[in-house]
Structures are given as structure tokens and as C-alpha cells.
Structure 1
Amino acid sequence: MRILRVISSIDPTGGGPMEAARKVDTTLKHLGHHIELVCLDDPNANFISDYPVKAHALGPSKGSYQYNKKLTPWLDKNADSFDAVIIDGLWQYHSFGAWRSLAKKNVPYFIFTHGMLDPWFKKTYPLKHLKKWLYWPWAEYKVLRDAKAVLFTCEDEKILARQTFWLYRANEAVTAFGTADAPDRGAYLSKNFLETYPELNGKRLLLYLSRIHEKKGCDLLIKAFAKAAYQDVSLQLVIAGPDQTDWSPTLKILAEQQGISDRISWLGMLSGDIKWGAFYAAEAFCLPSHQENFGIVVAEALACGKPVLISNKVNIWREIESDKAGFVDDDTVEGTTRNINRWLALNPTSYADMSEKAKQCFAQRFHIRRAAERMIEIIKENNH
């Protein structure tokens, strides 16, 4: 099958959707499908040439909306050579620009919302939501309405999406989602990570690895860790990830106010072997998000056999809780503290059991091959 992916950007600093696209496209290619991608990035960006399938970069684009006049004509010319088009994400020009071309063609298109219709954004950013309402009826509503299917990564995300705009019509489908196997050189990668950051040797590491963003609950994590850190002087919180909103200085002040600035290591964005080394060197992974439609990093932690401490606003929390692959609680300081304390209370046998269940949870629910196969199933089911 010939599939085209349309996405605003494949810059890896953008987080989960970009990482998911890379992993799924690699897997689809290995399964024998022909995959290409069109994005609105600058073609000279180094991550364009690194992409695993042919990437057509039409940028640079304009403003935060990423307007690009080249997209619709490019699709007018090229889309007919594909069996299906996958659009990733909303609220930037790529989705509306793709609709302008594809709505008048026979090529079916499918759209991943990636949690962008979650009502959390409506409650947290009411002014931005009002701005989106002005845009919704004549653009994004039509993008969803005319898609062969709107793809959600779990039932929770699908149900929540219906609550954001009263004018909503979509052929909804739930697909598996996930990531590839973790590298099997865990001991080597952990050793390499600790050699890179020798100050972490001998520490019990609690890892946060994601974007530094308000919705991720980083402030909750710092306050909760301050309440639990007294239990073991070797406990160290590792915060790793890109900071696109310049929130880190405020968080570091918070850490000082909580008296734990020396108990937190800020490593910036990690990738490749160093990222995997961080997972393997950690005892547990924590993501107390206020909103998370899936959380690729949660699946990556599970793949490494790490118990995950997540909020019940991470939409795969039911699966984690059911499989006993970690601990789930509210997206509050109190809930995050309870999660940390439950992890610290595990004896060696209980920890080993939870670690094994984390691996099983990943293999059964979140392996990328199943996600790729399910995507093909949905395309075939709706390609009439």
C-alpha cells in the first residue's frame, strides 16, 4: 500500500507525535508498504535527511500557524499517486491545507488528533479556546467531518474529544499505538549513561523524560518529590526534555524554595543511546500530566521494564492500572506524592514483579508493530 503522511513538523523536539510518526513509518516500511511524508519544515533542517522514509519539506512556513502556500498545490499534484493519506494533528495549516486539496479528490484521508481535542485545553486556556471557536466551524470541523476516519489512541481520548466543541461530527476509530522495542543492551546503556553523568552514580533515579511544559505537571512532580525525598538521601530526580516555553527557570526557583535544588538533575533533551540509558539507569518513570492522550515515553519506560508513576489524566492509565505495571493517582501534588511513596514502599520482590509486568504490558498493548498493522486495517476497512 502507498501511504502519504502529512504533518506540520517532524522536528524531534516537538514531542510525541513526531516520535510516533517516525516509529510507525519505519515499521510500515519494514512491513512492505511504500511511505512518504510531506511537512512544512525548512528542507535544510538536519532532521529531514534523517527521516526513515522520503520526506518532502515545503518550508520554511509562516508564524505559529505554519501557513505554507505550497502545500495544497503539492497535494493537488501528488496525492492521487497514494492509496491513503494520514494527517497528524490539528490547529496548524497542514490539516486545513490538506483538506482543501483532498476534499475534492478520491484519495481517502485519515486524521490523528493526538489529544488536541481534549477538554483540558478548553478549561486551561479559555481565551485560546475562544479563538479556536472562531476558526473551528469553517476549518477544523470540516477537516474532521470529511475524513474517512478520525483516529484516537484509546477509548478515553475518543470520549473526551466529543466534549470540546458542540459542532462535532466524525467517523471515529480507535487504533493501537506505541513504540518499538527498547534496545536490549540495557546494562551497557545504563553504564554509558552513568559515565556521561558521573554525579548520578550510586543514586536511586526517578526519571521524568518529556517536554518541559505546564500540561505535563512538572511543578507537581517537584513539590511531590520534595515531600518524599527525605526517605532516602540517595534519591535523585532526573528531569530531561526540551523546554520550548522557557519554564525551566521558574521550576528551578521552585526547587530552591522546596529545598531540593541539589536533588534534581536537569539534563535537557536526550536522544538515542543516552535517552535509553536514562530509562535503564532509572528505577521508575514519572509523568503526572494534566492531559496526555497517550504518552510515547510511558510506553518506552514500560519497554525497559520500569514501573510508571502516572496521573489518571494520561489516557492509557486504565491499561497501566489493570496490568499492575505502575501506579496511578490524581494529577495533584498529593496524588503524585502517593505514587512516589507507593514505589518507594516496594520491596525487592514486589519491584521485580512490577518490572516484569511493565514489560508484559508493553509487549501486549503498546508495541509499534501492532499499531502499524491496526492502521492498515482501518485504512482497508474504510477505503471504499
Structure 2
Amino acid sequence: MKILHIIPSISADMGGPSQVALNLVKALRDLGEDAEILTTNFGMGEIKTGDRLDYIFDESLNLSVPVWFLPYDPPNLKEFIFSKAATAWMWQNLANYDILDHHYLFSYLPTCAAAIARFKKIPYTVRTMGQLTPWALNQGKAKKQLYATLFERKNLQKAAAVHCTALGEAEDVRSFGIDTPTVTLPLGVNIPDEIPNARQRLRQQYNLPENVPVILFLSRLHYKKRPDLLLRSLADLQRENEPFFGIFAGTGEPEYIEELQQLSQALKLTKKVVFPGLITGEEKECLLQGADIFALPSYSENFGIAVAEALVVGLPVVITKGIQISPDIDAAGGGIVIEDTQSSLTSALLNLLRQPEERNAIGTKGKAFARHTYSWSAIAQKLATEYQKLCH
């Protein structure tokens, strides 16, 4: 099959969806499928556009996939990313593919691709990426209601299938009034090489004593992810005289990062937390393997790639019910699922910090669960089978 994945941008600044598209296409190609990506050069610096490139997303992962980069037209909204060049390219080339796979809602490239695909009678799937949760729909509510009325409901209703990563996401599709068939498959995660001295390296890097536990936030620094709530809970831990060190690794809007840094100062946490920015490659793996607890108190996540990355290396996770894979993690005993409150987060962190044996047991269960469930190759095989059904 010839498959085209369409996503507005694969910039690291776009967070987990970029990793999903790249890893999924790589896994499909490993199975022998002819899969490619169409995107824009938004957030990609001076990258050459208009040609298909074997784009190296992360040399440490040896991840190389064919990507068509088309120039976007500034000024632009981060979520929308209009591209006149991509429009022309799609009119000329979409008929060369057997099936299209669209990432994102409320964005120009997948919206335009859906309209052209219907005109040319090309089947397409849609990955909603958690954008139909009640919380997500309430962000910019008026604009999304208008966009849904004009485009998005029809795009979803006319799709061959909607790819959901959890049962909760499939329920959100139905609640949105869409009766298109859904395919529920989790996303995958790469299993990294073990770094035997990760704990020691991490503590040397931040000049920490060996016995100080590290609490890791590794995600986009966005108010949806609630790093501010985690900061307030860390202040609670400090008042309890509980030893810890917090690392908030990720990129985000400069104004919001400044707000978080000011909050850490107000909470007297400046010596207990750091904001190292975007961490990738081996340094990221060292963070995951050297930390003691992973925390993501997000309002809403359809999957949470960072959560799966933590699980797969045996790092116990503390997550909210808004992360839609939380029921599976809870059932596997691989993490603590909390209410969306500061007191609930603080209590969970205290329990893990004060019970290292329990912490290790949870990490072991989470690791076994993630390595069995979140295999890219297995997921790609199932998705390729679904593509075949939809094409026929």
C-alpha cells in the first residue's frame, strides 16, 4: 500500500503528535508498507521545502522517514498553519496514494486534505489526538464550534475510520455526534538502550546528593499539562521537609515559561527545581532512567507519549484521570491515578517518596505493561491490517 500521513508540522515544539507521526511511519515502513509524511516547514528553521527528504528526526533513535516539506504562509497561527503550496501539492499528488492518515483537527492541512480526498474518492482516516475531549473543546469554544460546523464534522463523518488511542477517546467521538467507525489502538513507544549509570549521571549533572529523589515533568510546558499544579505540590513537599528535586523538561511559549519561573520564585523553590528546556536523545533517556517519579497532572491527554516513555523504563507515574489511558495504567498497577487537585497530587507524591519499595514495585509493573502493550511494530501491523480493510 501507498500511505500518506498528513500533519501540520513535525517540529519538536508541537509535542507528542510529531513523534507519533514519525515513529508510526517508520514502523509501517519496517513492515514493508510505502508510507510517507506530508507536512509544512513550520518550526523547522531553514529546511529545504518542496522535495521529499529522508528526514532524520533524532539521530540517537536512528529514525529516518520520507517527508514532503512544503512552505507555510506567514503570518500564521500555530494550530492552523495555512500553506498555499501544500494545497497545490495535494491537488496534484493525493491520487497517487491508496489511503491517507490525518493527524490533528481544527488545522488547515488535514482539513484541506479531507476535502480533496472526498473529491478524488480516496479513503482517509482521522486521528483526533484528544481534541474532542470536553476540556479541549472548551478552549477557544466559539471558534471551534464555527470550524466544526463549516468543516470538521463533515471531515469526521466522511472519514473511512477514526483512529482512537483509548476507549475514552472513542466515547468522545460519539459524544461529538460522529457515527463513523472507530479503530481503537494505543500508540507506541521506542524501547531505549539501558543506561546503567543514569541515576549517578543525573545527580552529577545537577550536583545532587545520591539519596535525593528526582521528580520529573517531561512534556510541553503548557497550561493544559498543569506544571503550575506540580510546582504547588512541590511547595507542599518542601513544607513537609521532604527531600526532592524537580526537573521540568520541555519547551513552551516564553511568556508561560516565565510565569512558571516566577511562580517557583514565589513558592521559594528556586533551589529545588530547574527548567532545562527541550531535552532529546541520550540526555532525555538519562533523565527518564535516572529519575524516581514521573508526574503529569494534565487536564486532558488522549494518550500521553511521555507517560508511555516513562513506563517503558520502569519509572512510576503519577497522572490524572484526564489522561485517557489512565484506566489501563491503573488496572496494570503501573502508576497512581489521582483526582485533579493539588492535595491529591501532593498525597500521591508523598506516598511514593516515603515508600521506595512500593515505588519500585509500581515501576516494575508499569514497565512490563508498557513493553507488552505499546510496541510500535505490533501497533503498525494492526493499523496496516485496518488500512487494507478500508481500502477494499
Q: TM-score, normalised by structure 1?
A: 0.92
Is it true that 1:76 corresponds to 2:98 in the alignment?
Answer: no
Is it true that 1:175 corresponds to 2:185 in the alignment?
Answer: yes
Counterpart in the other structure of 1:149:
161
Q: Alignment RMSD, CA only?
A: 2.1
Is it true that 1:382 corresponds to 2:383 in the alignment?
Answer: no
Query: What is the SS of the residue equivalent to 2:6?
Result: strand
Describe the superposition over 1:88-142 as per-residue Cα deviations: whole angstroms up to 9, x where unpaired: 001110111102211122321111010111110234x3xx211121221221112
* Aligned partner of 1:346 among 342, 349, 355: 355
**Structure 2 CA distance for aligned equivalents of residues 29 and 111 of structure 1:** 20
Describe the superposition over 1:321-346 as per-residue Cα deviations: whole angstroms up to 9, x where unpaired: 10111111112111211221221232
The answer to whether the Cα contact below 8 Å between 1:182 and 1:300 also exists between their aligned partners in 2 is no
Query: What is the SS of the residue equivalent to 1:220?
Result: helix
Count of aligned positions: 377
Q: Deviation of residue 264 (structure 1)?
A: 0.8
The answer to whether the Cα contact below 8 Å between 2:221 and 2:257 also exists between their aligned partners in 1 is yes
Gaps of at least 5 residues in structure 1 are: none
Is it true that 1:2 corresponds to 2:2 in the alignment?
Answer: yes
Query: What is the SS of the residue equivalent to 1:246?
Result: helix
Counterpart in the other structure of 2:149:
137
Which range moved further: 241-250 or 147-156? 241-250
The answer to whether the Cα contact below 8 Å between 2:48 and 2:69 also exists between their aligned partners in 1 is no
**Structure 1 CA distance for aligned equivalents of residues 340 and 388 of structure 2:** 38
**Structure 1 CA distance for aligned equivalents of residues 25 and 198 of structure 2:** 25
Counterpart in the other structure of 1:30:
30
Which range moved further: 43-52 or 229-238? 43-52
Query: What is the SS of the residue equivalent to 1:256?
Result: helix
Query: What is the SS of the residue equivalent to 2:119?
Result: coil
Q: Deviation of residue 347 (structure 1)?
A: 3.8
Counterpart in the other structure of 2:316:
307
**Structure 2 CA distance for aligned equivalents of residues 46 and 364 of structure 1:** 39
The answer to whether the Cα contact below 8 Å between 1:203 and 1:234 also exists between their aligned partners in 2 is yes
**Per the alignment, do residues 248 and 83 of structure 1 end up closer, same or farther by CA in structure 2, a change over 3 Å counting?**
same
Alignment of 1:39-78 (within 5 A): 39-41=39-41, 44-45=46-47, 49-51=55-57, 52-62=64-74, 63-64=76-77, 65-78=80-93
**Structure 2 CA distance for aligned equivalents of residues 201 and 59 of structure 1:** 49
Query: What is the SS of the residue equivalent to 2:142?
Result: helix
Is it true that 1:121 corresponds to 2:136 in the alignment?
Answer: yes
**Structure 2 CA distance for aligned equivalents of residues 375 and 281 of structure 1:** 33
The answer to whether the Cα contact below 8 Å between 1:4 and 1:38 also exists between their aligned partners in 2 is yes
Counterpart in the other structure of 1:217:
226
**Structure 2 CA distance for aligned equivalents of residues 190 and 45 of structure 1:** 36
* Aligned partner of 1:99 among 107, 114, 134: 114
**Structure 1 CA distance for aligned equivalents of residues 209 and 183 of structure 2:** 44
Q: Deviation of residue 230 (structure 1)?
A: 4.6
The answer to whether the Cα contact below 8 Å between 2:130 and 2:136 also exists between their aligned partners in 1 is no
The answer to whether the Cα contact below 8 Å between 2:36 and 2:65 also exists between their aligned partners in 1 is yes
Query: What is the SS of the residue equivalent to 2:93?
Result: helix
User: Match of 1:75, as an amino acid?
Assistant: M
Describe the superposition over 1:307-363 as per-residue Cα deviations: whole angstroms up to 9, x where unpaired: 001011111110111011111111211121122122123243x33322211111111
**Per the alignment, do residues 202 and 343 of structure 1 end up closer, same or farther by CA in structure 2, a change over 3 Å counting?**
closer
Counterpart in the other structure of 2:61:
none
User: Match of 1:382, as an amino acid?
Assistant: L
Gaps of at least 5 residues in structure 2 are: 58-63
Counterpart in the other structure of 2:104:
89
The answer to whether the Cα contact below 8 Å between 1:308 and 1:325 also exists between their aligned partners in 2 is yes
The answer to whether the Cα contact below 8 Å between 1:112 and 1:152 also exists between their aligned partners in 2 is yes
The answer to whether the Cα contact below 8 Å between 2:27 and 2:377 also exists between their aligned partners in 1 is yes
The answer to whether the Cα contact below 8 Å between 2:132 and 2:172 also exists between their aligned partners in 1 is yes
**Structure 1 CA distance for aligned equivalents of residues 269 and 204 of structure 2:** 24
**Structure 1 CA distance for aligned equivalents of residues 149 and 142 of structure 2:** 12
Q: Deviation of residue 66 (structure 1)?
A: 1.2
The answer to whether the Cα contact below 8 Å between 1:308 and 1:326 also exists between their aligned partners in 2 is yes
Counterpart in the other structure of 2:256:
247
Q: Deviation of residue 255 (structure 1)?
A: 1.9
Counterpart in the other structure of 1:370:
378
Q: Deviation of residue 77 (structure 1)?
A: 2.1
**Per the alignment, do residues 200 and 79 of structure 1 end up closer, same or farther by CA in structure 2, a change over 3 Å counting?**
farther
**Structure 2 CA distance for aligned equivalents of residues 268 and 307 of structure 1:** 22
Q: Deviation of residue 199 (structure 1)?
A: 4.9
**Structure 2 CA distance for aligned equivalents of residues 229 and 157 of structure 1:** 37
The answer to whether the Cα contact below 8 Å between 1:176 and 1:370 also exists between their aligned partners in 2 is no
Q: Deviation of residue 233 (structure 1)?
A: 5.3
**Per the alignment, do residues 59 and 176 of structure 1 end up closer, same or farther by CA in structure 2, a change over 3 Å counting?**
same
Counterpart in the other structure of 1:21:
21
Query: What is the SS of the residue equivalent to 1:255?
Result: helix
Query: What is the SS of the residue equivalent to 1:292?
Result: coil
